[in-house]
Structure formats: structure tokens, C-alpha cells
Structure 1
């Protein structure tokens, strides 16, 4: 996925996060969301390593490696941001104080199960990390991922085949093809972002998807 498309997806997520929300941004693609909020939008970004407030990616050549996000990327803090202990950060996560967390994923099931920590690869580090706490602690879980894996197979499935991080926890999935909402009665397409019809999109996904678009496609 090109950096342009990555930023387009991140911008869509930022647009959908409401004013005043407390939001955790996961490692990888989700960290780009921090760069796409309107300047006057008050959002409280949260990291596992203990930062709360607004920040953006540090400009090249102006990195301060004492200021990093959970993905160990250098950031620049905006006025009002604060630091606190790592244990307090996890207390926020586990105590239900986060409105939204934005995570990456290897797979998401039709029921909203999330698999984002292990692919059963023998060389992978077997540690679920804070994703487990975020999946069950945040009020809503938004996923950013490519719709298809390197084999061209859908990562949105009837059931996850990789080890699961959390059960029935995903609210919404943002991809390079479309944005999906996972509801009790099925997976709904709320936005198509690629030049593709619902029928063509359905051919890529092995589960039934239902249109819930503002305009017909």
C-alpha cells in the first residue's frame, strides 16, 4: 500500500473521531491518524508508554528521541500534552476510559473478532502486548488494514484462522477498498473508496456484505 493511500485511510479515520474523544493509536499504520486532525479539533490521544494530548510526527532533522509514541516513532507534542507513568496508562486502558482505539490487523471476522498479534510464523515474537487490553478496554475498536493479504486473499473473513486478540470487539474496519461497520446483524459497507461496485467488492470477500451507503452504488 502506497504512503498516499495509507494517509487517505488515516484521514478518513481522523474525520470520524468525534470532538472530545480519548483515543489510543496502535503501532504502525494507526499512528498516521495523529497527523490528520483539524487544528481546532480537540482530541485526546493516548499512548501505552504514557502520553495524553495531541501530537504529530516529528519533522525530519528535528527528532527528539526522548519523545516517542508507542511504536517508538519520534513525535512533536502540541500544547497541553502531558506525560504520566506507564502503569497509569494501562490503568486507563483496562479501566474503560478510552472511547476509541485504532489498531492494525491481520484478520477480522464477520462477528468482529480481531487477530492482530501473531500469524503462527515460527520467527514471530509470541507476545500479544497491549493490544489485548485495548481490544477489551476501549468502548469502540477501529481497524485500519489492507483488505487483501499478499496472496490476494481477504483479511475480512467468516472466522479468524490466526490466534485471536479479542472476541467481538471490532466496531469498524477501514481498508483501501471500503469502510465496513460490524453490526449484530452482519457486516455493512458504509463507504466505498475504490472505483469498484458492491458486486465486485463482494467477489473479493468470502462473507455476505450489506450496503449501508449514503448514496446508492
Structure 2
């Protein structure tokens, strides 16, 4: 059964890896139910979609399009083998560590019911300097990018509560083929894939704008 192995939240701690004072990337599992709500805009909103979870860099993280971050336990297991070290739930700063969920194969706009909430797949995680510093692995951003197992950010469609053990049920799947993995590849190492992303209306507006700008440059070159 597809389910949540762990719900993880982070408290503020010093961040020596970026020009922000604090980070909440060090997320730890919690056993009690956690309230989930749409946090509002990235700039000036409440940061995380999970009440009690801290977002330090609200210029680049958090907000409605990055309200909840999900990562598959199976992908953590892959990185455990690659890195030769234990990776507990929450090690990648994810809010939800899942089991039997194809997180990277999820389509943009796909909706999951978890507990009393409904969440919508919005965009992949792009690695940053805080993530690299937190893992303390040489060349981690390049390694993570080549691995193309980014995990998914989710929007909050229906607020409610989530807890460890909740089933993950796909309640809507769009008819396009724009997945989290494809979107990540297009936004990182394979920009030639960017036009494919326009099929996914649920992508954040900033991603659609980036694709359209690139198409405009290509038309000018022709």
C-alpha cells in the first residue's frame, strides 16, 4: 500500500551555507498529526505548508507552489548505496517520506489524498547550496542532478492533517505525460525538453514563463 512512512518537520538552526541566517532543512520525524494548510505566497507568506515546519530562505523556498516536499524511501535507499551512509527519513529535508509512491513519475497536476488533505504535484526540487552543505558530500549538486531523482513539491488543495502511516491515494491524474522527472531534466541538464513542459497547465507560472522566453529566443534565432 502506498503510504507515508514518516512526517518530518524542521526547527530553525544556523545556516553557514547560504546568506540566510537560519535553515529548517534538518527535518525530524514526528509521531503526532500535523496540520497542513496553504502557506500563501513565497514572499511574505507562512513558508511551509506544514504548521510548525520552518523555512529559512523564503525568497527561494516555500510558498503555495512548494508547500510540502515529498521524497520516496526507495530513492533514499538508492542514495544510501551510492554514498555508503545511512539516510534516515527527513535526511533530504523532505516533509513526507513515502513508500510505494512513484514520486518522480508523478505527473504535474496529479492529486494525492493523504489523511484529510488533498495535495497537488507542482514542481521538482532543484538542489541548492544549503542542501549541498547539509549533506556534506563533495560535488553533491552535480551528483544529485545527474541522478535525476529530485522528489516533488506539492500544493495544498484541501487543508487538513497528515500523519505517519496515512495512505497515499491518487485521486486525479492529468492526461499529459509531463512528470516530475521530465520537468527536472528540462530545468537542469536537458533544456531542449523545456517545450514539452507547456502541456502541464499546473506548473508554476514562473516555469511557464521561462519556457516561453526560451521559445521566443529560438524563434528569433530561426
Q: TM-score, normalised by structure 1?
A: 0.26
Q: TM-score, normalised by structure 2?
A: 0.25
Q: Which has the higher helix share?
A: 2
* Higher RCO (CA-CA < 8 Å; seq separation 6+): 2
